[in-house]
Amino acid sequence: MNNLQGKVAIVTGGGRDIGRQISILLAKAGAKVCFNYFDSEEQAAETKEMIAEAGGEAIAVQGDMTKADQVQKMVSACVEQFGQQIDIVVNVVGGLVARKTIEEMDVEFWDFVMDVNLKSAFLVSKYSVPFMSPGGAIVNFSSQAARDGGGPGAIAYATAKGAVLTFTRGLAKELGPKGIRVNAVSPGMIATTFHDTFTKSEVREKVAGMTPLRREGKAEEVAELVKFLASPEASFVTGASMEINGGTYFI
């Protein structure tokens, strides 16, 4: 369904995993996609090739989304390529960084986790909004950790993702009168390199076994939810956090 035909979308962290699947799916739906990546030019090239193979159009822009000047560069590249309009912003960039208890972490680590997960969403939204008009949509990425505090050593990450929920609700109120919707997606355990890196296989198996659907989620399933929130079909949905965790956590 090409329900995003003529739209322009920014996706941060689009080089791999969930960000990649979102970029591909939005492009398949007709949007022109400007996706950001940080450190893997090869993965970004793969994403761009996948979009082209699907008949879509995209550009890849390298940049650190915690730096205002690099965010501005990314947004400028997008509007220069696709016109002075941004319809969809998806703030995927984020991460656990490392598992550390409060005694183990230093101030620099805490600040970095906050920057990667929260400041990045703030900056990308701030510099994209001037190019957005009624009908626009912002989708932020929170986490199940925002609700339940996360696993061992995830206090900084869980705190940042909780702040993303508050940021989402506040921004939804602020931008609602302009006709711009703001929502959040809160994934549980999704099969990505995030858990390949930070979660032991036996823990993943245990969590999947306790999940009502008895499995981990897929990046493609998260992308479908994001596409819905970005589409006209979700025109009366704003300020919401959509949980996608296989029934592991209910609100």
Q: What is the pLDDT of residues 47-90, one digit of tens each?
A: 999 999 999 999 999 999 999 999 999 999 999 999 999 999 99
Tokens 């972490």 belong to 105
Smallest Cα–Cα separation from 161: which of 183, 140, 146, 139? Answer: 146
pLDDT (average), residues 118-134: 98
* pLDDT for residue 46 is more than 90: yes
What whole-number percentage of the chain has pLDDT above 70? Answer: 96
The predicted pLDDT at position 40 comes to 86
pLDDT (average), residues 216-225: 92
pTM greater than the 0.95 cutoff: no
Average pLDDT, the chain: 93
Confidence band of 19 (pLDDT split at 50, 70, 90)? very high
Fold of 8-244: Rossmann fold (3.40.50)
Per-residue pLDDT reduced to its tens digit, 177-215: 999 999 999 998 888 766 566 567 777 787 767 777 878
CA distance 21 to 152: 28
Helix, strand, coil % (nearest 5) of the chain?
A: 50, 15, 35
Confidence band of 1 (pLDDT split at 50, 70, 90)? low
* Active-site hit among 37, 127, 157, 249: 157
Tokens 């890849």 belong to 60
pLDDT (average), residues 84-108: 97
Q: Is 37 a catalytic residue?
A: no
* Sequence ranges of the domains in the chain: 8-244
- Phi/psi at 59 (5° precision): -125, 150
